[in-house]
Structures are given as C-alpha cells and as structure tokens.
Amino acid sequence: MSDTKYIFVTGGNLSGLGKGLAAASMGRLLKARGLKVTILKVDPYINVDAGTMSPYQHGEVFVTRDGAETDLDLGHYERYIDIDLTEKSNITTGQIYQAVIEKERKGSYLGATVQVIPHITNEIKDRIHGLCSQDDETPDVIIIEIGGTVGDIESLPFLEAIRQYRMEQPRGHVLNVHLTYLPLIPTTGELKTKLTQHAVKELRAIGIQPDILLCRSTRDMDDEMRKKIALFCNVPFDAVFSDVDVKNIYFIPLAFEAMGVGSKLVELLSLKCGPPDLTDWKDMVEAIKNPQGKIKIGLVGKYAILRDAYISVLEALAHGGIANKVDVDVDCILSEKLENNENWRDLLAGYSGIVVPGGFGDRGTKGKILACQYAREEKIPFLGLCLGLQIATVEFARNILGIADANSTEFDELTPEPIIDLMPDQKKITRKGGTMRLGHYPCIIKPGTKAHEAYGVDVVKERHRHRLEINNKYRDQLEKAGMIMCGLSPDNLLVEMIELKDHPWFVGTQFHPEFQSRPQRAQPLFRAFIKASLEHHRRVEDLAPGRVEERVKI
C-alpha cells in the first residue's frame, strides 16, 4: 500500500458553490509546500464524457493533453496547480457503468449478480487508486472532487465508494472536506447556519463525517457562528472555515492560507513537507490588484450569454493581461446580435481587440463573419480560435478573393466552394463522442511571422478539438491574396495557424491555445494578442483621447 494521502471534496445545498476552485486552491497550497499533487473530478452524469454536452448545460469542454474531453474544473486544476492532467483525472457514471458492463459481458465476474455494491463501487475505487501511478510517479496527495451535491441520487454510488475507501486506508490517510452554503438574509443582515447543518446531516447519514468545513458566504463568520456550526456538525472549531466571495478567483489560495486551511490539511494528514512558498503567487496577485492600464476586449460567440462556455478563453485573456500588467475587461457579445442589424459596426466599435472562439453549428455564424470582417478592415487586433480560424478564412475568401459562395461544409454540406472541409479521416465517422481530432499535436511555425515572434520557437505542441480544416485546394489562392499559413502540421497537410500580411495583428489557430495558459505563465499567443491590443488602445487614445470608452451598450 502506497503512502499517498487522499482529500475528498464534497458539496451540499446547491451546485455552483465553487468546489472546483476550492479543490484547486487546496492543491496549490499543498504544492507550495513542496508536495506532489494530482487531482480527480468525479462527474455523476451518465454521459461517458463531456464531449457531446451542450455548453449551456455544462459550460466549456476542457481537453487534456491526451485528448480527453472533460469537465471545465480540470481547467481550474491545471491553472492553479500548474500540472498537465490526463484522461485518468475525470471519471463519470457513464464510464463506470460502461466498464462494469464490458467486464460482465466478458465473464469477468464469474457469473455473479452484478450490483452497485460491490461491483460499481469497486470500479470507482479502482479508478481512484489508479491515480497513484499516474506519470509513473507516486503523488503525495490526491484530491478527489465529487460533483453534484449530497442527496443527489446520481452521486450516491460515488459517496458510498469514498466511504468504503476511507475504511480501507490506514488511519490518517484520508480527509473529507465538505463545502456548504451560508445564506445571508437581507432583511436581518444575518448569515444562517441551518442549510449547513442539514447538508452535514445528509453526509453523515451516508456514513461520511467531514473533517473540514468550508462555508461559502458573502462575508466572514464570527467565532460564535463557527462554534455553533462546529457543535451541530461535529467538526472541531479550528476546522470550520469561511469561504468568502472574492473579487478575483486567483485570490482564493491566499485567502485559504491566511485562514489556516493549508496548515490544517498538513496537520490532519500528517504530511511531511516544508513551509509554503507562495512568493510567485503573491507577486501574480499583486499584479492583478495593481494594473498599469485597462483595455476592453470583445469576445463574439454563440454561447455568449453563459461565460462558463468560454471560461478557459476568458482566463487566458486575463493571463495575457497579467503578463502585460494591464486589466482586461471582456464583453461577451452574442454573435446573433450582429446579424440583420444595420448598426452592427457600432456594437463592435471601441474594443481594443476582438476574439472569435470555438464552437459548433451554423447558428450565429453570420455575426462571427461580421466580427472577423470588422477586425480585418478596421485593423483591430484579432484572435480566432478553432472555429474562429475557419470563420476568418471564410470571410477572407468571400470579401478578398471574391468567392461569394465560400463556406464550410459544417454549415452547408453541398456548398460549391468548401473553403473549410472535413479532414479526410473524419469523413466516414458517424459516432460523435470522442471521435474528433483531440489532444496534443505538433505545429511547425513559419519564421518571420507574428506567430513565431509570439512563441519564439520553431515547433510547438497545442491541444486540438475539431473535425474540419482549411481545404488545401484553396491554400494557394488564399496565400497569394495575403493570408499567411504561418503554422502547419509536420507533414504539411494541415493548416494549424493563419495570419494576415497587411494587418497589425490578426492570427487564427486551429488548435485551442487557451487550454495551456497559466496565470503565472500566459500562453504566448494570448500574451502577444493582449500586447497588440494594448498598443492599439494607446494609438486610438493618442488620436482621440477618451473616445475609446464611447461604446454602444450591448
């Protein structure tokens, strides 16, 4: 049996309390003490993975380096702990049941009646234990976040599994952290503890006693309230912590450390480690608190009413701001608002940079094309991601090459001018789940380009999630008209990046660079995009001071 310690993070009351951010923050505090940390997200839904789920229901689909389509919380884990996770770091009910049924079909259970206990719970515990050997190096601590809330029927097998797991580990090797909600009653100005009491009661009824309580609220608890919660929830007073709202999510680790969360984790798990070194994180937080300027970026997408649909893009833009010592204010603009609107240019006026992110389907496509056209014509810094590259190419073909029918076969399978088309190995695929071009692939960058200037190297590896590409039949035409194919696959068959010759900064990527950005190490393209946007902002301000803030409200 390994010496790995385990932290199980559960939630009560309601979803969206921030279990993922809390788990990531605890991981950061432990890593700052010199410990090797890895992390696992358990999603109770029956989907095998997040790949086929609507962003409106689930937010962004995060892609790991090995091509797993996962929950967006893995993005938080990677950004906070600064590690690259794999498909082992996200399990779902669908995966568990699929694995158990496959074993039953093979006769692995020797004719036994297959049941939730022990077969489903054993499979869950095997997946948790499998993280002990991730990357051929045993972690000191594994953090496991159980999605959903206590009381959800979907979560019960996982909660039972972690109850068993604690019993099977040596004493002191497992810790249960429970996140609950303390509502503020506006009429009285009081924080109320009853919801927390009931959430802990539900958890204890399942057989799990929390060791630490994180109480999410809009303000700190006083000691009397902590004593009350400790008494009724059977948790020591010094293990009851406030999880107070903060202005920026990167402030959370320092807030936890100041309250003593990190020290309590070390104490309860008897971890052998040094004092925390959070110097770099503190420097990064200070840079966020004290920017030397501010710029506005317009993000034009079809899911703009739900910011979680673009969470990695938004965070990568923020990281670019940190690297350039500037505050980045992003407006998410619903692309359909630009369509059939004679004032569509006014809706884009005043932004220092424009981003068109990824997505699927033709809804809102016309609005995205207009955004690309505006950025190209008005010389506004532009970053197109995945579909954003494809849309920018279609716009260029229509308005520069004069190919009026230029389109993508995703939007029109019978288009006579398929500027964007399915990759050859995708044309016979009928199943949707897990069949795209996913994960790390190399890209050769053309010297002398803005892309090469941003990266500073000739070859990079970035994460992909797509089925379509620029049609090679049109590459010569596009290049002759001023589109530079600045990034290509090693075999020269796939266009990975484009940029425009006569433009201050107009770059599109077929991959998703946002997935590898970190708050302390901005992804190079986002760093360069924000730098270009800041330079554009300053040029505009020099020409017409104050006008950059004059903008039609969206």
| Active-site residue list | 386, 512, 514
Residue 207: strand pairing partners: none
Q: Return the closest-CA partner of residue 492 out of 511, 524, 508, 470.
A: 470
Pull the structure tokens for residue 549.
């803030």
Q: At what angle do helices 311-323 and 279-289 cross, to 10 degrees?
A: 90
Residue 385: strand pairing partners: 509
DSSP state at residue 548: G
4 CB contacts (<8 Å, ≥6 apart)?
132, 138, 139, 140, 141, 142, 173
Report how far residue 314's alpha carbon sits from residue 319's, in angstroms, rounded to the nearest whole number. 9
Q: Return the closest-CA partner of residue 394 out of 407, 375, 382.
A: 407
Report how far residue 64's alpha carbon sits from residue 483's, in angstroms, rounded to the nearest whole number. 30
Residue 142: strand pairing partners: 6, 38
Q: Coil, strand or helix: which one is 116?
A: helix
Q: Coil, strand or helix: which one is 37?
A: strand
Pull the structure tokens for residue 331.
């407006």
DSSP state at residue 114: P
Supply angle C-alpha 140, 145, 146, rounded to 5: 140
Alpha-carbon torsion, ordered 250, 254, 256, 259, to 10 deg: -150
Pull the structure tokens for residue 287.
């840079």
Q: Are 147 and 42 in contact (CB under 8 A)?
A: yes
Helices first, then strands: H and E counts in the chain: 18, 23
- Cβ atoms < 10 Å from Cβ of 65: 17
Q: How many residues does the chain have?
A: 554
Q: Are 81 and 518 in contact (CB under 8 A)?
A: no
Report how far residue 253's alpha carbon sits from residue 23's, in angstroms, rounded to the nearest whole number. 10
Report how far residue 60's alpha carbon sits from residue 31's, in angstroms, rounded to the nearest whole number. 26
User: Phi and psi (nearest 5°) for 170?
Assistant: -60, 150
Report how far residue 226's alpha carbon sits from residue 222's, in angstroms, rounded to the nearest whole number. 6
Q: Are 235 and 210 in contact (CB under 8 A)?
A: yes
Give the 3-state DSSP-derived string for 118-160, with helices as H, strands as E and coil as C: HHHHHHHHHHHHHHHHHHHCCCCEEEEEECCCCCCHHHHHHHH
Largest Cα separation within the chain, whole Å, is 80
